[in-house]
């Protein structure tokens, strides 16, 4: 059974995808998703923080991801790009969530919604980013 936070991540992914594809405003995307029947089962506060943070800070997050990518950010599939942005935001801005949880959640989203091997790519990129952003946590978990 999925947790309310896992559901929040999945709904945020849907919103991020919409933002990347159609360029809708954050307020329009969140208003639409809040009308969804799934919205009442998500961690609504976390959903709002996650989607707003990932969109508002996307330039900084993409710059943080860039050294660990094998191509330009804009060449990623929209799903992988959205998942990586969400994961990067969590790694940077949610220190209360262990980096292994962030990576696992992103990998699960990639398995559910991404391409065949996309989850492996997401795992590798976020693992490297986690080591860069959270070296102390990485050392403790090693």
Structure tokens at 23: 């360029």
C-alpha radius of gyration, the chain, whole number: 14
pLDDT mean over 66-75: 96
Percentage of the chain modeled with pLDDT above 70: 96
pLDDT mean over 89-110: 96
pLDDT score recorded for residue 135: 86
Give the separation between CA 12 and CA 68, rounded to whole angstroms: 23
4-136 CATH, one of 3.40.190.10, 3.30.450.20, 1.10.940.10, 3.40.50.2300:
1.10.940.10
pLDDT score recorded for residue 139: 57
Q: Is the pLDDT of residue 56 over 80?
A: yes
Give the separation between CA 73 and CA 63, rounded to whole angstroms: 9
């Amino acid at each position: 059974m999925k947790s309310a936070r896992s559901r929040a991540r999945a709904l945020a992914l849907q919103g991020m995808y919409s933002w990347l594809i159609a360029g809708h405003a954050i307020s329009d995307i969140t208003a639409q998703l809040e009308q969804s029947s799934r919205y009442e089962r998500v961690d609504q506060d976390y959903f709002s923080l996650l989607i707003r943070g990932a969109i508002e800070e996307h330039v900084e997050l993409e710059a943080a991801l860039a050294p660990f990518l094998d191509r330009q950010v804009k060449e990623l599939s929209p799903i992988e790009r959205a998942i990586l942005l969400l994961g990067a935001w969590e790694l940077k801005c949610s220190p209360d969530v262990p980096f292994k949880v962030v990576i696992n959640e992103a990998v699960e989203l990639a398995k559910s919604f991404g391409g065949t091997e996309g989850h492996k790519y997401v795992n590798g990129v976020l693992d490297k980013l986690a080591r860069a952003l959270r070296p102390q946590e990485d050392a403790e978990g090693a």
